[in-house]
Amino acid sequence: MLTQLLLAIGDSAGSTHAAELARRLGTSETLVSAMLEQLVRMGYLVETVPGCDMACASCPARCEGCRPTAPVKLWRLTPAGLHALGRTA
Amino acid sequence: MTDTITLTRQPLIALAGSPNVGKSSIFNALTGLSQHVGNWPGKTIEQKSGAMHLDGLTAEIVDLPGTYSLSANSLEETLARDYIIREHPDLVVVVVNAAALERTLYLLAEIVELPSPVVVAVNMLDVAREQGLRLEPEVLEAALGVPVVPLTATQADGCCQLQQVMADVLAGRHQAHPRPPELGAALDALLDEMEALLADDAPPEYPRRWLALKLLEGDREVSALLRARLAPERWQAVDSLLGRHEDAVLTIAGARYEWIGRMTRAAIRRPPAGAVTLTERLDRVATHPVWGIIMLAGVLGLVYWSVYQLSAPLVDLCNLGLSALTQALHAALSSAPWWLSGLIADGLVGGVGTVLTLLPVLVLFFAAIAFLEDIGYLARGAFVADRFMHRLGLHGKSFLPLFLGIGCNVPAVLGTRILDSRRERLLTTLLIPLVPCAGRMAVLTYFSGALYGSYGTLVILGLLALDVSAIFVSGLVMRKTLLQGASSAFIMELPLYHLPNPRTILLYTWQHLLDFIKRAGTVILVVSLVIWLLSALPAGDINTSWLAALGRWLEPLGSLMGLDWRMLVALLASVVAKEQTLATLAILTAGSGRALTAVLPSLLTPAAGIAFLVVQMLFIPCVGTISAIRSETGSWGVTLLSVLYLAVISFGTGILMYQIARLAGWGV
């Protein structure tokens, strides 16, 4: 099932989300979320924070109102994840 | 039936579970005050054990560190699994979360494969009920083949029943028939092969099948253990087998999740669809590839339209107040030297005051963005736009940093760090300054209102459409030429829709306004004073000033767009901060004695106004963004390329728009 999830992530056009992956795999969104967490623990996915909290120290603006994180939380495939995807595809 | 426990030693019970399943609450409820807290041997991690009474016998119960699996990914997981595997407890109580069974059953999937008897404590029933989930423990027990006890440990509800079941299992009164995950014939055969290779050399304290499983899962600790134990040629055979089955780790974990899926489908009753799928129903439109984009365009259009409509009268009021203030200051300073009254009334109050008239625009803009983010829509907007860009052949994930640029370009540039390759980062970095930040939008709103009155909203929407087109075209051109490459996928977490929290929106708006006011009181104030000095020196006449000399040097470029030297100087000043455009123009037109909104129509024809707005929309970003580009790319060359690219496309598009309007005979 994790193999299918990895393939579904690889097949997605650009970004995808848990509900969409759940529809493609015919399972629940909560199970997909749990599997995504498992892929993170296995080192195949990594959580990415697309906001300025990554680099406040080097930010030349230092805005008081800077949003600490982006409006979305997201994960991307690691080199290990891409390698596994290459093996299974 | 009251059989007593007949063990030759004090019963040993392990309490296992994932983090945050309420394991400690259960441990406290079972042991009361009979607890001992120390450290695991040789480690700095706390070990809690305690005594509990079962059927007149005292048992020792050990609270294991929270762990998601029996893989040695962390010290806590290693301690927990070593205890279960090597100490051979008489009973393992696995605590799972009723509200998140899918997340917490994985550990159980591994433990039920081991020889130790298992009892499952399904905790947090109260939380599950609040979420509308109904657990059917009998069904789960039948599916798992081991005893299941539902409980809410924080209210000590179900703890007595758990104690009774534990006593029954220890006394052998409960015959369990565990049903572990089925790994499939191919994997079973592989495990048999691996077990045969391990033969009698495997450490006796570990179950051989478990060792084979962990080897196939790539467990480094088990691999090191067996590499040290096995003869070299035997290890070579094991290693070769592992090399041929690298993907076994995914198959094994996948089989466990299939098992988890079956268990939860059987044991959890979810609320009727209508009650939980508001988010799903809304997302059918909001995340749809076509409708989602239309909705995003509509929502952003509505935001800008509302901001414009609501802020225009307030900006007019602010301008009236500012005019009155500067006139009063001039009157009050009539006996002071010309340079003092000019510096204070025109440079200080006129310049910075004009910038502060943007406050109504910014309040509404920031509140609208905060509202969209708080209700959960902004994430959907990012998602559909991201996918749309991907379909156009652009790297979809570049849109996430671009989306951040709506508030301010600086964090957006820093956000490009999420992108994998240098090419993607460069492409996105070059595109970010084209995203209109709050300051730029506020200035454009001000100009549109002053120049085009009730048509201002249409002008703003037209500018946004032009800007989006510029981003797409620039992205496509760069992708097809300089920055080719393949893209990879992202998985986003889309939050549930919910009612907005006024406090969150107010806080977000206030923080951004505070930042704007600070900027107005520092950078913009200082630059306004410098600009006033340059416009007054050397002889106190603006037309013969040093600033006029600089502006007139640029006038050949401005004449292609119908812009005089003052408009060009204002554009250049926007590199300090976008709002500086207004401060500069207010200073340069102070001699008229009227508010800037009243002066602008006489400075710009409608065609020249369009050209000016287009250039302002696409122009070089502020120094903060330029500095961020330099620090993120580490290259002056890329920074210069970005500045030159934006200067060329902004002036080029401005000239084109002006010439088209001129040929059409519109407002020249």
pLDDT tens digits along B202-215: 888 888 889 999 99
Question: From the CA of A69, how many Å to the nearest CA of chain B?
Answer: 9
Task: Return all residues near B222 (Cβ < 8 A) that are at least 6 apart.
Answer: B72, B211, B214, B215
Q: How confident is the model at residue A53 (pLDDT cuts 50, 70, 90)?
A: very low
The Cα of B117 is separated from the nearest Cα of chain A by a number of Å equal to 26
Q: Mutation target for B interface from A20, A38, A82: give the one with most B CBs within 10 A.
A: A38
Alpha carbon B74 to its chain centroid, in Å, reads 26
Kindly tell me if the per-residue pLDDT of B111 is higher than 70: yes
The shortest CB-CB distance from B253 to any of A2, A54, A58 is to A2
Residue B157, number of CB atoms within 10 A of its CB? 14
The strand pair at B57-63 and B46-54 is best described as antiparallel
B332-367 pLDDT tens trace: 888 888 778 878 877 788 778 888 888 888 889 888
| Angle of CA points B168, B170, B171, to nearest 5° | 65
The answer to whether B16 touches B111, Cβ cutoff 8 Å, is: yes
- Please tell me the distance in Å from A74's CA to the nearest CA on chain B: 4
Per-residue confidence band for B377, with pLDDT thresholds at 50, 70 and 90 = confident
Residues B99 and B267: beta-carbon distance below 8 Å:
no
Average pLDDT of the segment spanning B442-446: 89
Lowest-confidence segment of A43-52, B121-130, B563-572, B618-627 by average pLDDT = A43-52
Residue A52 pLDDT: 46
* Per-residue pLDDT tens digits for B136-195: 999 999 999 999 999 998 888 888 999 999 999 988 888 788 999 998 899 999 999 998
Tally of residues, chain A: 89
CB pairs under 8 A between A and B: 208
Confidence band for A54, pLDDT divided at 50, 70 and 90? very low
Give pLDDT, residue B418.
66
The answer to whether A72 contacts B493, with C-beta atoms less than 8 Å apart, is: yes
Q: State residue B652's pLDDT score.
A: 95
- Chain B residues close to A17, C-beta within 8 Å: 287, 383, 491-494
Q: What pLDDT is attached to residue B401?
A: 61
Per-residue exposure over B72-106, b if at least 16 CB sit within 10 Å of its own CB, e if not: bbeebbbbbbbbbbeeebbbbbbbbbbbbbbbbbb
- Note whether B103 contacts A34, CB cutoff 8 Å: yes
Provide the token pair at B494.
């889309």
Number of Cβ within 10 Å of residue B227's Cβ equals 12
> What number is the average pLDDT over the span B526-540?
83
The pLDDT score that the predictor gives to residue B468 is 86
In the predicted model, is pLDDT for residue B2 greater than 70?
Answer: no
What value does the mean pLDDT take over residues B56-81? 86
pLDDT of residue B203: 84
CB distance B514–A65 less than 8 Å?
yes
Residue B44's pLDDT band, with cuts at 50, 70 and 90, is low
Q: Which CATH class is domain A2-88?
A: mainly alpha
Residues in A 40-79 with any Cβ partner in B closer than 8 A: 41-42, 45, 48-52, 54-55, 58-61, 63-67, 70-77
Record the tokens describing residue B430, joined without a space: 């070059």
Percent of chain B having pLDDT more than 70? 92
Residue B122 phi/psi, 5-degree rounding, is -90, 100
B540: tokens are 């106190």
Q: Which residue in A63, A76, A77, A88 has the most chain B C-beta atoms within 10 A of its own C-beta, making it the best mutation to test that interface?
A: A63
What distance in Å separates residue B433's CA from the closest CA in chain A? 15
Q: Say whether B360 sits in a helix, a strand or coil.
A: helix
Q: Looking at residue A18, what is its pLDDT?
A: 84
**Domain assignments of chain A as residue spans, ordered by start:** 2-88
Question: Any idea which of A30-39, B279-288, B340-349, B474-483 has the lowest mean pLDDT?
Answer: B474-483
Q: Which residue has the higher pLDDT, B422 or B530?
A: B530
Pick from B73, B391, B515: which is nearest to A64 by CB? B515
Lowest-confidence region among B376-380, B492-496, B642-646? B492-496
Cis, bond preceding B19 (omega within 30 deg of 0)? no
Q: Which residue has the higher pLDDT, B472 or B166?
A: B166
Q: Which residues 66-95 of B are in CB contact (within 8 Å) with A?
A: 68-69, 71, 73
The confidence score (pLDDT) of residue A50 equals 53
Q: Is the minimum CB–CB distance between B408 and chain A shorter than 8 Å?
A: yes
A89/B contact by beta carbon, under 8 A? no
Taking only the tens place, the pLDDT of each residue in B552-571 is 888 899 999 999 999 999 99
Q: Nearest Cα to B414, choosing from A63, A72, A76, A60?
A: A60
- Per DSSP, the residues of B119-162 read EEEEE-HHHHHHTT-EE-HHHHHHHHSS-EEE-BGGGTBSHHHH
Measured in angstroms, the CA of A15 and the nearest CA of chain B are apart by: 5
Q: What is the pLDDT of residue B483?
A: 57
| Residue B46: burial class (beta carbons within 10 Å; 0-12, 13-18, 19+) | exposed
The encoded tokens of residue B295 equal 């909705």
Asked if the domains B12-170 and B185-270 are classified in one and the same CATH topology, the answer is no
* Closest residue in B to A82 (Cα–Cα): B488
Check CB contact of A17 with chain B, cutoff 8 Å: yes
CATH of domain B185-270: 1.10.287.1770
Task: Look at residue A60 in the predicted model and tell me its pLDDT.
Answer: 53
- Entry pTM: 0.71
CA distances from residue B517 to B363, B428, B439 in whole angstroms, order as listed: 12, 29, 12
pLDDT of residue B264: 92
Mean pLDDT comparison of A15-29, A56-70, B32-46, highest-scoring range: A15-29
- Percent over 90 (pLDDT), chain B: 24
Task: Check CB contact under 8 Å for A16 and B250.
Answer: no
B393 three-class SS: coil
Output the CA–CA distances (angstroms, integers) from residue A43 to A37, B73, B286, B556, B647, in the order listed: 10, 10, 31, 59, 44
Return the structure tokens found at B284: 């059918």
Please give the CATH superfamily to which domain B12-170 belongs: P-loop containing nucleotide triphosphate hydrolases (3.40.50.300)
CB pair distance less than 8 Å for A72 and B383: yes
Contacts of A60 in chain B (CB under 8 A): 410, 624, 627-628, 631
* pLDDT at residue B389 greater than cutoff 90: no
Residue of A18, A76, A84 lying closest to B247 (CB–CB): A84
User: Pick from A17, A36, A38: which is nearest to B253 by CB?
Assistant: A38
Residue B592 to residue B372: CA distance in whole angstroms:
42
Query: Cβ A72–B382 below 8 Å, yes or no?
Result: yes
Confidence of residue B15 (pLDDT cuts 50, 70, 90): very high
Among the partner residues B246, B258, B493, nearest to A73 by beta-carbon distance: B493
Q: How far apart are CA B363 and CA B213, in angstroms?
A: 60
Q: Which of B287, B491, B630 to mutate to test the interface with A (most CBs of A within 10 A)?
A: B491
Asked if B73's CB is within 8 angstroms of A33's CB, the reply is: no
Which range, B52-61, B241-250, B486-495, is most confident? B241-250
Provide the residue ranges of all domains of chain B, joining segments of one domain with +. Answer: 12-170, 185-270, 291-663
Q: For residues B417-442, give the mean pLDDT.
A: 80
Distance from the Cα of B362 to chain A's closest Cα (Å) equals 13
The confidence score (pLDDT) of residue B406 equals 67
For B255, the token pair is 């089989």
Averaged over B97-122, what is the pLDDT? 92
Taking CA–CA distances from B507, the nearest residue in chain A reads A65
